[in-house]
Amino acid sequence: MDLYEKTVNKNYVYKGKIIKVRRDDAMLPNGNTAVREVVEHTGGVAILATDNDCVYMVEQFRYPFEEVILELPAGKLNENENPKECAARELKEETGLTCATLKYIGCFYPSPGYALESLHIYVAEGLSKGKSKLDPDEFLNVKKIKLSEIRKLIETNVIKDAKTVIALLYYFNYLCKE
Amino acid sequence: MDLYEKTVNKNYVYKGKIIKVRRDDAMLPNGNTAVREVVEHTGGVAILATDNDCVYMVEQFRYPFEEVILELPAGKLNENENPKECAARELKEETGLTCATLKYIGCFYPSPGYALESLHIYVAEGLSKGKSKLDPDEFLNVKKIKLSEIRKLIETNVIKDAKTVIALLYYFNYLCKE
């Protein structure tokens, strides 16, 4: 079956600080038209920084959920920023760490039904500790946690953040030497 | 460090078909205020329906990316719908399958920085084939793919959809008997 939908009208209904929102009309494969809502976001990076049998995590308040959650260090891409440079920058800003190697795992779509947002995931190794430097409206706690403990925190659904679960389970499946 | 942010003003800037968008003012841990954008979504389910060494996948056009991607069967929760009932309903609608058991894996946040959206993931087993019944504006192709092939498609980043990667890597890590 041909699945392609063609944009008929592209209409911005909100242009904000980190997102833009469109309410488009699209022509469906059967010739009918339908409303398609799109949230545009510049995308982001997440970094699995690992040191022997541990990984660096951050505790962060996530405003939409009004909840402090445990995530990998991560951040938003600046306009036209290279994802690998963004990963090195965010790792340094959030944890103070610099790394000898940044290995690319892949690009993932957190919510492709409505969000034009891509997340790039990296594994950082060869870590050196420096001083963190957070954005003025960013607050977080850094934690170094054993991989064996993280494995349980994912199994029991304590860790809920999608990029964090993807990066760690990818690591356990394909990269971990254990 | 105390990480809590307090809502000062809650302002809806868009109320649409599948999302609502807020532009709030929040008080940060240091007493300053900042803009916080929130996309509200009722959330969804994804179903890993497995039959011996295969899994049922769907090819679907994702309008934001203008791309056909490979995903698990999935769908949006109706207002106040029970996630497990939604999972059984969506599996039937998209693939025609009914199942003897639906095991809950967990709840994940695809984009907790700005999206108030939770995804509930289930494993469906004991499958029986019936007739699919798609929504009028929904078009997709169902594919039955070997788990060994899926394992490679994730490793090589061909599969990009977050819920699909989470469900399958969770399955490979914790549930698969192989």
DSSP labels, A24-48? EEEE-TTS-EEEEEEEE---EEEEE
pLDDT per position as a tens digit, A59-97: 999 999 999 999 999 999 998 999 999 999 999 999 999
Average pLDDT, rounded, for chain B: 96
Does the beta carbon of B92 lie under 8 angstroms from any beta carbon of chain A?
A: no
3-state secondary structure chain B: CCCCCEEEECCEEEECCCCEEEEEEEECCCCCEEEEEEEECCCEEEEEEEECCEEEEEEEEEHHHCEEEEECCEEECCCCCCHHHHHHHHHHHHHCEEEEEEEEEEEEECCCCCEECCEEEEEEEEEEECCCCCCCCCCEEEEEEEHHHHHHHHHCCCCCEHHHHHHHHHHHHHHCCC
Confidence (pLDDT) at B2: 87
| A20-48 mean pLDDT | 97
Chain mean position to CA A176: 21
Residue A41 has pLDDT above 70, yes or no: yes
User: B88 to chain A, minimum CA–CA distance in Å?
Assistant: 20
Question: Which of A30, A77, A137, A158 to probe the B interface (max B CBs under 10 A)?
Answer: A137
Band (B178; pLDDT cuts 50, 70, 90): low
pLDDT per position as a tens digit, A131-178: 888 888 889 999 999 999 999 999 999 999 999 999 999 999 999 865
pLDDT per position as a tens digit, B84-97: 999 999 999 999 99
Does the beta carbon of A105 lie under 8 angstroms from any beta carbon of chain B?
A: yes
Q: What's the pTM? A: 0.97
In whole angstroms, how far apart are CA A158 and each of A5, A168, B105, B109?
38, 13, 12, 12
Strands B97-108 and B119-129 come out as: antiparallel
Q: Tell me if B60 and A3 make a contact (CB, 8 A cut-off).
A: yes
